[in-house]
Structures are given as C-alpha cells and as structure tokens.
Chains A and B, each alone.
Chain A
C-alpha cells in the first residue's frame, strides 16, 4: 500500500468514527431537546399561574371560562389507573415468573415466551378498543352504576398490557439468584415453595423491585388506553367506576382541540407534560439504580 493511500484510509477511518459518534450523540441531543422544550414552554405557563395554584387548587378547568389550575385531578387519574394496572400485573407477573423459572419445562417456556412477546407488541389502541367495547360492557353487568368511561376498564387493560414486561423482568431477576442459595435451602429440609419464598424471592427482591417501578413508569406514561376508555373529565376522586382523566389523556385532549398556539391553555400542555416527564424520569432512574445494585450483588 502506498503512503498516500494509507493516509487516505486513515482519514476515511477518522471520518467514519466521527459520523458514528455523531449518531450516538443524537440521544444526548434528544434528551436536551425534551428538557429545553418542556422547560421553555412551562416557563410561559408559570408566568401566569403560580405554583400555589397548581398544587393547592383541586379543580382542573383550564379550558373553561372559570379557570382552575389545580393539577390534582390529573394526578389522581394517573395514580388510580396505574394502581389498578399494577394491582393486576405485579402479582400475576410474579406468579408467571416463578412458574416459568422454577416449575415449567423447556417446552412450556418456549411456547410461553412468544405469546408474552405478542401480548406486549399489540398496539395500545387495540387495548383501548378492548377496554371500551369489551371490558366496560362486561363489567357493567356486575356494576350497573359504572360509567361508560371509567378507570377500572382502562386499568385492567393496562394491566394486561404490562403483564409480559413484569413477568419477563421478574424472571430475569429470579434467574440471577445463584444455585447455591437454592441448594442451601433444600439442604435444610425446605420444600420447593419454602425454598422459593424463603431463599429465591428474597434473593431476587432488588431485581423485582426494579421491575415493579419500571412497570409503574410504563403505566404512568400510557396514553391511548386511558384516552379511549377512561374518559376526559378531570374529576378528582378515587372511584374506579367513574371516569377520570390522566395527565397523558389531557395532553391528547388539548392536542386534538383547536387551542391556538401561544395561549395559556396551550401552555398547560407543557406544564402537564413537564410533570409527567419528571415523574417518569424519577421512576426510571430509581429503577435503574436499584437494578444495577441488584446485578452487582451476585457478581
């Protein structure tokens, strides 16, 4: 190879490396972009609405004539639907995880994994359809007073959607627990269930906690299921049979309407989005931390 062509090759390598590093910097730019966009527009919001109003008012009616900016109804809606989803997916996911890792044959596992992945891959709008047109009518037979938009149906649909994620992450955590702990329990005369409950699950608790928090973050950030089935009435209550509006559903509601750009109502979008972003970011970071500490435990 001549000296010149070698030099050209080196330059080409450098350029490629630069391009690739630019690709990876896109994620940093995106994060900065999100923070910038949300912050700037939220500042406009907070010029007109004080923090006291946001946190001490209990009504959220920014689109009406009589404007209130208390964010609690939206937070309550988010918490209610997410809590229902977690109440369904966490125990069920744990049971499935324990079953798959401790009891099931290879054949069952091979059969189950694609099914769970399928469940996780279905678009959320299908879950929304399901919640509105299948779950709600079915539940209305049991609870005649249930509204056609309500938190329970949306929560149940969300729970099913999150189930595969919870089961998969918990199974990974259980798999990380070393054989030596199981053997120690068996050697003391434990039955299989005693071994699982007394040695394996406590040993996996870090990973399972991370899984729960991650699932919670997913539930909080979910939009379409609640937008379709939970309703768009920001009422402040914890009754699962009545409609609620979540932070995410509000964002959709305003986006669908014709709120002019630059108005206070428009800026509520970003204030709510900022709260949502902070909430999910905290949950994600806590989950990552706990998960990393857990993985280091058994190295």
Chain B
C-alpha cells in the first residue's frame, strides 16, 4: 500500500476525521477506560481484603475478649485459657527491644550520615545493612539461638528474645533514620560548624532535632513490626506454654503472636476463637503504637514551626 493511498495508516488525513474504530487497540479510548476499570477493581479488592482480613479476625475474637481472658494463663481448656503471660511477655519484649535497637540504630545512622567518609569500610557496612534487611526472620532466630541462648547462656529469656528482635529491626531503623537525616538541609550543619561547633554538637543540637519526626516514624514502624514477629521467637525456642509473667529479663517468656499461633495450630475451633482474640489484642497494641507515633510526630513538627 502506498502512502498516497488514503487507507495507509500513515497517510495524511484531515484532523477532524473520526478514526477511532480503525486505530490499533491501545490507541482507542475504550482501552484506556478498560485499564482504569481494571485498576480501580484491583484497588477496591485490596481494600476489601484489608477489611475482611482485619474484620474477620476481630469479629471472631471479639466475643472472647474479657477481663478474665486478659488476666489468665493458657490452659488445656479453651474457655479458661488467657493471654496474661502472652501480653506481658510482648510488653517486656517491646520495651527491651526499643532499649537495644534505638540507640544502636540511630547511632549507626548518625555515624554513616554525619561522620563516615566514602571508603571501602563504609561501603561494606552499607552492603551488610542492605543484605540484612532481606534476610528471613527465621534466620535471625537461629542466630539468636546459637549466640544468645547458647553461647552467651542467656537461655530462653526475654533478654535473648529482645536482642534477637533488635538485630532483626536494626536495618530498618538504620535505613529510615538515614533517610530522615538526609532531609535535614545542609545549611544547618554548615552554619553550626562555621560557628565553631564540633561535629557532635552540630548533630545533637541542629540535625537530630530536625530529623526526629522522621526517625520516630521509622522506629515506630520497626517496633510495630517487631511485636508482630513470630518466627524468630519460635526458632529461638520461646516456649509456647508459659504460665508466668516475666519477672526479670532473664525469665522465660511467651508472646501474643506465639500464643495465637499455638492456639491456631490446634484443631478445635474454640482455640481458634482464642487465637482470634489474641490477635485482636495484638492489633490493638499496634494501633496504639502507631497512634503514639502520629501524636509524637505532630508534636515535634509543631515545635519546629
């Protein structure tokens, strides 16, 4: 077909002619409408799944929530079983994990962003962090098992558990904190240094306060994830039948997700209800954490204005 033939696709045609029906598939307006429909359908489905996901768990477990549930220990009879050991264990874990991971993570981020120069050593550290972020959580559990439980003889205690979780979330904290530090304008640092402040003075008084909201958000997300982790604690050997509230960091422990997993693994549906209730408590924990994060973030941002 020649270009002069008016049916040739590249022939020069008047602008007003309606060629919509003869265009290739992707050029027709119907195609764009179909794609938009598909995209919105997928998003709506994702939303629906989210609702059902959380809704089904809460719906199943809500009836089981009661004061006795929160203050009893696990038992062989589903109606007597409670999560006292589990939620106190989770609380201890969260507290200790924050103590270990926060200074280490923010410290490492500060070092990498404010102090370190580009060298083979820093490149190696960054490579390690990037890799560690992708290591499955079970493997952290095995690490904790051999190093904390066995080699350092901390046994299967809250200490071992929180140290393991701290290592797990460390890469996330470091990466989020570095991002936050990067958003601080260079001018703040240069201004302080030019006035004779030391590197640490500059960091502590000028950089960290500005980066704090971002760091806090990243940390909250990391710790929120930490209390939902089950696999590394199981691998550590956290006992699933623990009938005591941890009284020190060397005490054995259980945690909400572990208790839920234990109940979920049983065939009786009454235990499944218990699991749903435990998960509901866990989710409430996490929502509370995230709300605290939001409050903290807005408080810090307001202070900066």
Contacts and interface: CB of A to CB of B under 8 A. Distances in A.
Q: Tell whether any CB of A sits under 8 Å from a CB of B in the complex.
A: yes
B209 interface: no
A31 B131 contact: yes
Interface string B108-152: 101110011000000011001111111111111111001100100
B32 A99 contact: no
Contact of B128 (A27, A223, A270): A27
B192 to A, nearest CB: 14
A122 B125 contact: no
B230 A221 contact: no
Nearest to A98: B39
A132 B269 CA distance: 12
A223 B107 contact: no
Given A96-B39, A255-B141, A281-B135, 16 more contacts: A13-B198, A13-B199, A27-B128, A37-B146, A95-B38, A99-B36, A119-B49, A122-B54, A123-B279, A126-B283, A129-B264, A193-B27, A221-B134, A223-B136, A228-B265, A251-B142
A46 interface: no
Interface string B1-18: 000000000000000000
Given A24-B112, A125-B279, A252-B138, A13 B200 contact: yes
| Most-contacted residue by chain A among B27, B57, B139 (CB, 10 A) | B139
Given A24-B107, A37-B146, A191-B27, A126 B57 contact: yes
Interface stretch (B40-48, B68-76, B181-189, B244-252): B40-48
Interface in B72-129: 103-105, 107-108, 110-112, 115-116, 124-125, 128-129
| Most-contacted residue by chain B among A30, A190, A252, A273 (CB, 10 A) | A30
A276 interface: yes
B23 to A, nearest CB: 8
Contact of A96 (B42, B124, B283): B42
Interface stretch (A14-22, A69-77, A176-184): A14-22
Given A23-B104, A163-B46, A221 B52 contact: no
Interface in B242-268: 257, 260-261, 264-265
A194 B26 contact: yes
A31 B171 CA distance: 11
Contacts of B167: 26, 30
A69 B235 CA distance: 21
Given A115-B47, A129-B276, A223-B136, A23 B234 contact: no
Query: Is chain B's binding surface mostly helix, strand, loop or mixed?
Result: helix
Contact of A129 (B28, B47, B279): B279
How many interface residues does chain B have, given as a range?
Answer: 35 or more
A76 B39 CA distance: 32
Q: Which 6 A-B pairs have the closest CB atoms?
A: A123-B228, A221-B136, A23-B107, A99-B39, A20-B111, A284-B134
A255 to B, nearest CB: 5
Query: Is chain A's binding surface mostly helix, strand, loop or mixed?
Result: helix
| Most-contacted residue by chain A among B60, B257, B282 (CB, 10 A) | B257
A160 to B, nearest CB: 5
B136 A276 contact: yes
Contacts of B38: 95
B170 A133 contact: no
29 contacts: A13-B198, A23-B104, A23-B107, A25-B125, A26-B104, A26-B167, A26-B170, A28-B128, A34-B135, A37-B146, A41-B146, A112-B43, A122-B54, A125-B257, A126-B53, A193-B32, A194-B27, A214-B134, A223-B231, A224-B257, A224-B261, A251-B141, A251-B231, A252-B235, A273-B138, A273-B142, A280-B134, A280-B136, A283-B134
A167 B234 CA distance: 31
Contacts of B231: 223-224, 227, 248, 251-252
A24 B275 contact: no
B286 interface: yes
Contacts of B150: 261
Interface of A: 9, 12-13, 16-17, 19-21, 23-28, 30-31, 33-34, 37-38, 41, 92, 95-96, 98-99, 103, 112, 115-116, 118-119, 121-130, 132-134, 160, 163, 190-194, 197, 214, 217-218, 220-224, 227-228, 248, 251-252, 255-256, 261, 269-270, 273, 276-277, 280-281, 283-285, 288
B205 interface: no
A251 to B, nearest CB: 5
B139 A129 contact: no
Contact of A19 (B105, B107, B142): B107
A192 B32 contact: yes
Contact of B135 (A92, A99, A134, A280): A280
